[in-house]
Structure 1
Amino acid sequence: MAMLDQARAPRALRNILLTGAALPLLVAAPARAQDASPQAAAEEEILVTGIRETLRTSIDVKKRETAIVDALSTDEIGDLPALSVGQAIQTITGATTHREKGDASEIALRGLGPFLSNSTFNGREATNGSGDRSVNFNQFPSELVNNIKIYKSQQADLVEGGVAGTIDIGTLRPLDFGKMRVQGEIKANYSPYQDKVTGSSAWGWRGTLSYVDQFKLGGLGEVGIALGAQRNSTNNPEETMAGSSTWVACNGNVTVINNNCREVTQPEVAAGTPFYLVPNSIAWRQISEVDRRDAIFGAVQWAFSDRVELNVDAQYSDRTFVENRRDFNISEMRRSLTNVVFDDNHVLRSFDGSSSFESTASNLERAEEYLGVGANLRLDFGDRFTLNLDGAYSRTIRTEIERQVRLRTDAFDVNGVRTAVNNQRIPYRYEVLPGNFAPTITIDPRFDITNHDLFWDDARTRRDESRRQNEIWGFRADGTYRLDGFISSVKVGARWAEQTFADYDVRNELNLNPAMSEDRRINQLCRTQFPQTGFLDAAEGNTITRWATFDPICLMREYAGSEDPGLPAELRSPLNRDVTERTLAGYVMAEYQSELGGTPIRGNVGLRVVNTQLTSIGLRSAFTVVNNPDGTISLTPTPGTFDTVTLEAQTTRFLPSVNAIFELEPNRLLLRAAVYRAMSRPAPSALGAGRNFSLDVNGTTIEDAINEIRATGSPSLKPLMSWNGDIALEYYPNRDSIFAATIYFKEFGGGFMPFVTNEEFVIGGQTVSVPVIQTTNSPDKSQLWGVEVTLANRFSWLSKPLDGFGGKISYNYADTNFESPDIRLGDTLNPVTGAITPGIIPPASLNGYSKHVLSAQLYYEMGGFSIQGIYNYRSQYYQDFVGGNSQNRYVRDNQTVDLRVSYNVNRNISLRAEATNITDEPKVTDMPVPGSIRQYHYYGPRYFLGARFRL
């Protein structure tokens, strides 16, 4: 199992053992459930609700599907046992989540990253503000969703894409629901970490209202409507330490004073030169946040007759959050490193250094708007032929504005008095003590980081604005012809889709050097008290607990002359991406049923053909050199020098699939087999044609300043293809029980690896040839195999009142030799010769790949009372940065424990209490090798208390 932090190991082991303690009961349950008493059999006629109903419905969905499917389904709105769709999905076998802001966001299936999955909403592709193809499930309230299906094996009529599988979120069809329902729910939530923030409320709330009804229209048939809305107003407290996103390998034999450490070369490493890994900077960040989300869902189901039906649905979500950030930066982590100690994995354990210190104040606002609309028309032509026509539109717009002001240290304080250190750069010591993942920083005792007078020099204001817009238009037609005999039906269909992704990322920056008297005035005017108590007190080893902080809006107003300087006049930039992807696909699929040696067999066989055309537009510009007051330089695009570069690519892929189900014991014991070819496309943001200049903060010449140039994407990237095989055995002793085990295998036809090519840029009037780092498809093949197991049972075989217990446990193990080299320090491919130059650090694996994923649930229901505990564990995984072309980042093992309690006062009113992350688990990431701490986040637990009514 991947590494567990020593400090967290006892807690993790305890949680795993507690989960495992329920295993004997779960294993024994199916066998004993076969001998159910007549009383238990009679229970089948009793209306089942709550957690038991959800698990029973999910088992039934899995049994009926032809492909290998796991589901979470309920007949009622608002009964999914989770606070968000992401939390709900991670209870499904083989599914796990990546946590952002303390909640489940993007989903990984079978230990494979989100980019290997395909996500759909009511069977249609959905957009994302992150720039990848996964869905931010935080956007959708679980109270307005009633079924989630995960297709582990492919079949030809599914939307193309998804080596790991396809996640489909479904909303209610009002006619199928069949009854009138008005439902409302109000929840209060409490965040203990927010209670540590001075002057803010730790309380938030969410309110949900839905209405479902059906109406007879006489000669026009019957229509059903479903409407739902939610307002969620909360906060997401966060405490974090983070290193920069660029790390270098420093020569362990060379000590450099008053300058940066010298980077080691690949030939030096090959010759045995020791080296260690270090970030450019490191920062402690305190965050106060206000978060609001409004969501509206609607559906109309109109049955004109038994042969004609129209379904229209729409989803809208508008989420806005505002963060006030207070950072303390050690901005020159590579400078003057002495007494360096590092281990055999090149991970820093301790050193002495000196650096400028910075207090940076920021205000970040993000608004994300999602809109999805779809319409489906079903036409039955007699009893044999059905035609489905479907059109859909999905759009996500994410806008982010950050206003930031940096203040640095100097040899003098803001009053002109020489400091005790007598230098801009402050001596400090860095240590990672045994048992801790938080580095211990010991600062020269002559320097007090809480003293506002010491932060005033080299003032810099920045206003960054980014905007990402992702749109998908899609149309499809599916025809089904039913037959008698071995072939029960034939489906033929076609799909056309156009996806666009466009963004800009622009900056207004001022580097200032006013008179000291002006600095003094602003410093005194904009000071604030450190806004939190107990900062990172849960991070063992941390010594940075408070520092001098300032009001970012005040600083921006006084230094820049306006609280918001606004957008620059020129929005065009070499960073910008403009990607258009057009897809044309067609398929044919036959469903069959027969017997083989007396054993019923059914399934489908099909072929899907997918043609993809890509157009990526980028900008190239000359650059002007700007000399900053602090002696460094920066580069800005020269106005009027933009040239457009258009890059095009095209692929055609054939995706055959076969699914077979052998009913070894009808309705009880099923053997499933699937063989299929699958594809996963690169993220739209990874297909951009832009260029990003990374500058060294200490560079004083063009050669020194250009640290590297990275492409903002690689339009030539091809889809990741795989051949797949699955074998599953499923045993259903009764409606509340399942034992399922699946073995699966995947062979990938090439992964991704970096390559470097020289490009010419005009900088300061001179033509400079600079290496540009990009990503391309690897020529290597790799394999993955895994096994997943699901065990669920209601303990009806126990005597009362213990028969109210039930549970589910699922586990996925996967192993792969897939490699993702680090883009700066890993293997590189020569695009001309095809030769591979070995890197100096090991490669990562698949993005999002975890070897172990475990989910366990234990519940008790009796009368109107229910309680449920959910434990989720995920072992270490590699997480790529959105857009790719970044260094390798690893998320350490993580686990969560959630609790839910509800009580039905009567058939109309129920009370609910919920708690998430009750063990206060942080998220810890390493870079660019495991064990090299880059970042840790603390979110804390959250508590919810609410009431729901139904009419």
Structure 2
Amino acid sequence: MNSRNQIRARGLRAALLAGAGSTLLVTAIPVRAQDTAPAAQGEEDAIVVTGIRETIQNSINTKREETAIVDALSADDIGDLPALSVGQAIQTITGATTHREKGDASEIALRGLGPFLSNATFNGRDATNGSGDRSVNFNQFPSELVNNIKIYKTQQADLVEGGVAGTIEIGTLRPLDFGKRRIQGEVKAQYNPYGDRIVGSGGIGWRGTLSYVDQFANDTIGIAIGVQRNDTNNPEETYAASTTWTACRADNSAAANCTELARADYGQDPFYLVPNAYTFRQISETDKRDAVFGAIQWRPSDQFNVNLDVQYSDRTFVESRRDLNISEARRGLTDVVYDENGIVQSLSGQSAIESNGSELSRAEEYLGGGLSVEWQPSDRLTLTVDGSYSRTIRVEDERNVRLRTDPRDLNGDTTVFNNMRIPYTYEITPGSFVPTITIDPRFDLNNHDLFWDDARLRRDQSRRHNEIIAGRFDAGYEMDGFFSKLSAGVRWSEMTFRDYDVRNEGFDLTSDIDEERRINNLCRTRAFPQTGFLSAADGNAINSWATFDVDCLFREYTGSEDPGALEDKRSPANRDVTERTLAGYIMADYDADLGNMPVRGNIGVRVVKTDVTSNGLRSDLTIIDNGDGTIRLDTTGDFETVTIKSSNTRILPSVNAIFEVAPDTLLRVAGYRAMSRPAPSALGAGRTFQLDGNDFTSVEEAIGNVRANGSPRLKPLMSWNADAAIEWYPNKDSLLSATVYYKQFNGGFQPVVFDEAFVIDGQTVTAPVTQTRNSPDKSRIYGLELTAATRFSFLPKPLDGLGAKVSYNYADSNFETQDVRLGDQFDPVTEEVSQGLIAPAGLSGYSKHVLSAQAYYELGPVSLQAIYNYRSKYFQDFVGGNSQLRYVGPSETVDFRASLALMPGVSLRFEALNLFNEPKATYMPVYGSSRQYHYYGSKYFIGLRARI
């Protein structure tokens, strides 16, 4: 973020925090006066409320009626959730915040706690994703086809699994319950200013949605169907360092790679932290998604209710990436200035420089749904059977080309440096996350003749397949007396997660110098693909470089633009995980009076048994000479399967109580035990031989990068939890609530080192392999959650159309996550601890502060809404775990929405996302050590909606 935006954002955040306090006061005084005028209140009840106000009213009413502590966002009509995606909608709910990918909300964290601590369901059923974790990719689902979102902050037994942070429930419309015919269509045009800077693109996209709901046969059969096509673009510009960081000895020689500080010298010798490489990346992108949501509801009698629902989404995005790569960030380092944490402030270095190009496409297909049959054989007994299926398949194909510097240029002339390595300087200003990397000015980055040597072509394919088959049976019996209802049920599910990542690079690239010159000249990109590259990044010194056409280079070097993926997909890095779950619960609802005070709630217990089977491949290795002074390891092609099994059973009691201390005031208390499972990808039994790149100078260096790509014996993270909330509902539009919560974790995660033997070219080599295990440690989280919402109806017209909602969550945790290379390590035999070099992180996804503020104005045909979201810094684990620490910097975004009713059923709508071009910054392996920043730009949508 540049300095102007930083000042503007700080002022905005201060104003919103001040506004939060004033909203609390405004809610607490004038809205009480509203209730003293019964006639006015009765007139208000006769008014038909629509739009944003209706959505907030529904959310307040849902929160009040639920037994658990719940926050919600719901709309009576289809397409009325005020957001462009489900992820954006969720982040307006109290305590919910998002992790941004490609400029949009993706994975959700509740109460500042990471996605892996939450459980997400779709129409009450577990949903798959293509990321390898258990969170739902909310970008996959259009908000126009979703009607309600509930977040259970506390657990109750019929949620079966739930989550430590909470459960996110996404719901679609049931046509008979909707009760009316509705045909609706909407078309939106998108404009992305960053897309307009892409050469040959205008930054224009569109999305169209059509839905139909109706009832037939005397309202015994209902259907609902919605379709959407989304065709947009999400260009991106970024600087990034690699994902492997080394602690270098401060006294190392500058002639070669810096010397890694030995673990025996931790805490004694000075060090500084550097990555393997630095990369500037320009991305041009197109994004297409087709989605279909359908439901059939059949109610032949009052005793039977049958619901069938299906969701399908097929999303494909294609990226053209152009990289400038400083590939030897550890080499020739001099004049290194660093602070007490090892964070480099400035240095000089020498590195080969690469112009890399890649074409990447990702196709992600989601198919989910289920059949539910509800039978009520008597007035008191209800039986429900539910079967469901969810599947996500994500396939990525990437073709990558590297061209590198050489002591001579393409014409055979000696360069001014007389070697392939170019001097550069690195400097970062305190308080900034954007480093200034300056290449020696004698080297012209835009001269294609300087990038021609060591051509390398790769064709990668990865595939992730996540599938869940589940069945559930529930019974509910209404009773008289203290216990009003008794519920019980069982659930069975089988989840499978399989992935592979294969590389095809065995191409014969031998050619003489004349052929190299011909290819280089033929495949040059005459103009840099983007104007104003990283112009918003203060201090950036690199705005363009020589780029090449990837299709042309593949065609000229290999004879085919796409040589295809390897047929043999086997690899030691593959994951093959099957998780079978059998669970049961019993729960009793109660409703009574404590003196003159009504009390209601539930008490219950869940038992969850989990069996995990993880298959991994093992193979001998062979050394391959890359021909440029580096080597890599590859498998021999002979594999054997290693199977690791694990099992655990967890008992999860829960109790919820609601005390109606006044007709408009509720006191809630809850206590429960909760579990959060490891990500499926974290249960793999495979081995990976590099963290990024695989060009090494020695066998020792190559084998030193081996790591486990999962830990099959990991158990769920368990916690005991307590919540207490006070909620005041002065009228339909207003809410003032405060919740305090406490979570004690029984266990955590520790990196543990095992020595494993690998056969390399017939020789047995022993290498340390780091995995993750459950620890006996105890840690805790405590937090405070505040919500205030009101409509300022006491103001004179036309100001009485103003409304606001502010929510804030504070969390404090002492949970520790160690860096797998530079943190504490545990010996599995002796249980001795080898002290680490850098401080541990907290929980993955944990933010201390989360703030959301909304202001809306509705008057007649006009509706306006502004939304501000702030999230403080957090640690984010890489998918699959067993990796170094990565931190995401504070994030704040401002969105705006407006609509104008042109005539009954027809409205003009406008949305603006990320108005102030807020970037995303990440740091490794300690906070403050710049690793990556992304600029996405703002997005604008304008459209027309019609409904009959």
TM-score of the pair, normalised by structure 2: 0.98
Look up the equivalent residue of 1:560 and give its one-letter code.
Answer: T
Change in 2 beyond 3 A, CA 1:6/1:878: farther
1:547 lines up with 2:548 in the alignment: no
Alignment of 1:260-409 (within 5 A): 260-271=257-268, 273-409=269-405
Alignment of 1:46-445 (within 5 A): 46-216=47-217, 222-252=220-250, 254-271=251-268, 273-445=269-441
Deviation at 1:22, TM superposition (A): 3.0
Deviation at 1:558, TM superposition (A): 1.4
2:796 counterpart SS class: coil
Whether contact under 8 Å (2:2, 2:537) holds in the other structure is: no
- Structure 2 counterpart of 1:538, from 533, 536, 539: 536
Look up the equivalent residue of 1:48 and give its one-letter code.
Answer: V
- Structure 1 counterpart of 2:808, from 798, 811, 814: 811
Deviation at 1:834, TM superposition (A): 1.9
For 1:898 and 1:700, locate their aligned partners in 2 and report how far apart those are by CA, in whole Å.
49
Whether contact under 8 Å (1:30, 1:793) holds in the other structure is: no
For 2:409 and 2:776, locate their aligned partners in 1 and report how far apart those are by CA, in whole Å.
58
1:410 counterpart SS class: coil
For 1:6 and 1:442, locate their aligned partners in 2 and report how far apart those are by CA, in whole Å.
21
2:557 counterpart SS class: helix
Q: Deviations over 1:427-475 (max 9, x none)?
A: 1111112453211112112111110000011110000000000000000
Look up the equivalent residue of 2:807 and give its one-letter code.
Answer: S
For 1:561 and 1:687, locate their aligned partners in 2 and report how far apart those are by CA, in whole Å.
40
Look up the equivalent residue of 2:144 and give its one-letter code.
Answer: E
Whether contact under 8 Å (2:633, 2:702) holds in the other structure is: no
Look up the equivalent residue of 1:772 and give its one-letter code.
Answer: V
For 2:712 and 2:69, locate their aligned partners in 1 and report how far apart those are by CA, in whole Å.
33
- Structure 2 counterpart of 1:578, from 549, 573, 576: 576
Q: Deviations over 1:476-511 (max 9, x none)?
A: 000001100001010010000000000110001147
For 1:435 and 1:709, locate their aligned partners in 2 and report how far apart those are by CA, in whole Å.
35
Deviation at 1:304, TM superposition (A): 1.1
Look up the equivalent residue of 2:26 and give its one-letter code.
Answer: A
For 1:206 and 1:569, locate their aligned partners in 2 and report how far apart those are by CA, in whole Å.
37
Look up the equivalent residue of 1:565 and give its one-letter code.
Answer: P
For 2:421 and 2:265, locate their aligned partners in 1 and report how far apart those are by CA, in whole Å.
31
Deviation at 1:628, TM superposition (A): 1.5
Q: Deviations over 1:71-114 (max 9, x none)?
A: 00110111111110000000000000000000000000001000
2:84 counterpart SS class: coil
Deviation at 1:701, TM superposition (A): 3.2
Structure 1, unpaired ranges of 5+: none
For 1:814 and 1:206, locate their aligned partners in 2 and report how far apart those are by CA, in whole Å.
38
1:53 counterpart SS class: helix
For 1:436 and 1:843, locate their aligned partners in 2 and report how far apart those are by CA, in whole Å.
23
Deviation at 1:21, TM superposition (A): 4.5
Aligned equivalent of 1:605: 603
Whether contact under 8 Å (1:437, 1:540) holds in the other structure is: no
Aligned equivalent of 1:452: 448
Alignment of 1:636-785 (within 5 A): 636-639=634-637, 641-666=638-663, 668-694=664-690, 699-785=696-782
- Structure 1 counterpart of 2:466, from 458, 462, 470: 470
Whether contact under 8 Å (1:428, 1:442) holds in the other structure is: yes
Deviates more, 1:221-230 or 1:802-811: 221-230
Whether contact under 8 Å (2:23, 2:789) holds in the other structure is: no
Deviation at 1:266, TM superposition (A): 2.6
1:587 lines up with 2:585 in the alignment: yes
Deviates more, 1:160-169 or 1:90-99: 160-169
1:31 lines up with 2:32 in the alignment: no
For 2:515 and 2:160, locate their aligned partners in 1 and report how far apart those are by CA, in whole Å.
61
1:642 counterpart SS class: strand
Aligned equivalent of 1:890: 887
Deviates more, 1:362-371 or 1:20-29: 20-29
Deviates more, 1:825-834 or 1:186-195: 825-834
Q: Deviations over 1:566-604 (max 9, x none)?
A: 121321000100000000000000000111122110000
Q: Deviations over 1:405-435 (max 9, x none)?
A: 0000000011111111211000111111245
Aligned equivalent of 2:497: 501
Look up the equivalent residue of 2:203 and give its one-letter code.
Answer: A
1:34 counterpart SS class: helix
Deviates more, 1:238-247 or 1:415-424: 415-424
For 2:132 and 2:618, locate their aligned partners in 1 and report how far apart those are by CA, in whole Å.
22
Whether contact under 8 Å (1:27, 1:791) holds in the other structure is: no
For 1:12 and 1:828, locate their aligned partners in 2 and report how far apart those are by CA, in whole Å.
40
Look up the equivalent residue of 1:709 and give its one-letter code.
Answer: V
2:474 counterpart SS class: strand
Change in 2 beyond 3 A, CA 1:914/1:8: closer
For 2:605 and 2:698, locate their aligned partners in 1 and report how far apart those are by CA, in whole Å.
58
Whether contact under 8 Å (2:160, 2:584) holds in the other structure is: no
For 1:704 and 1:380, locate their aligned partners in 2 and report how far apart those are by CA, in whole Å.
67
- Structure 1 counterpart of 2:615, from 617, 631, 642: 617
Whether contact under 8 Å (1:29, 1:797) holds in the other structure is: no
Deviates more, 1:151-160 or 1:35-44: 35-44
For 1:264 and 1:950, locate their aligned partners in 2 and report how far apart those are by CA, in whole Å.
67
1:193 counterpart SS class: helix
Look up the equivalent residue of 1:211 and give its one-letter code.
Answer: Y
Look up the equivalent residue of 1:137 and give its one-letter code.
Answer: F
1:792 lines up with 2:789 in the alignment: yes
For 2:698 and 2:893, locate their aligned partners in 1 and report how far apart those are by CA, in whole Å.
49
Whether contact under 8 Å (2:658, 2:666) holds in the other structure is: yes
Look up the equivalent residue of 1:303 and give its one-letter code.
Answer: R
Look up the equivalent residue of 1:586 and give its one-letter code.
Answer: G
Whether contact under 8 Å (1:362, 1:402) holds in the other structure is: yes
Q: Deviations over 1:795-844 (max 9, x none)?
A: 01111111000010000000000000001100111112222221100000
1:518 lines up with 2:515 in the alignment: yes
2:705 counterpart SS class: strand
Whether contact under 8 Å (1:238, 1:938) holds in the other structure is: yes
For 1:704 and 1:916, locate their aligned partners in 2 and report how far apart those are by CA, in whole Å.
45
RMSD of aligned residue pairs (Cα, Å): 1.3
Look up the equivalent residue of 1:152 and give its one-letter code.
Answer: K
1:820 lines up with 2:821 in the alignment: no
For 2:532 and 2:591, locate their aligned partners in 1 and report how far apart those are by CA, in whole Å.
65
- Structure 2 counterpart of 1:633, from 628, 631, 634: 631
2:193 counterpart SS class: coil
Q: Deviations over 1:504-523 (max 9, x none)?
A: 10001147453222211111
Aligned equivalent of 1:557: 555
Whether contact under 8 Å (2:704, 2:768) holds in the other structure is: no
For 2:431 and 2:564, locate their aligned partners in 1 and report how far apart those are by CA, in whole Å.
47
Look up the equivalent residue of 1:84 and give its one-letter code.
Answer: S
Change in 2 beyond 3 A, CA 1:7/1:931: farther
Deviates more, 1:902-911 or 1:393-402: 902-911
Change in 2 beyond 3 A, CA 1:735/1:490: same
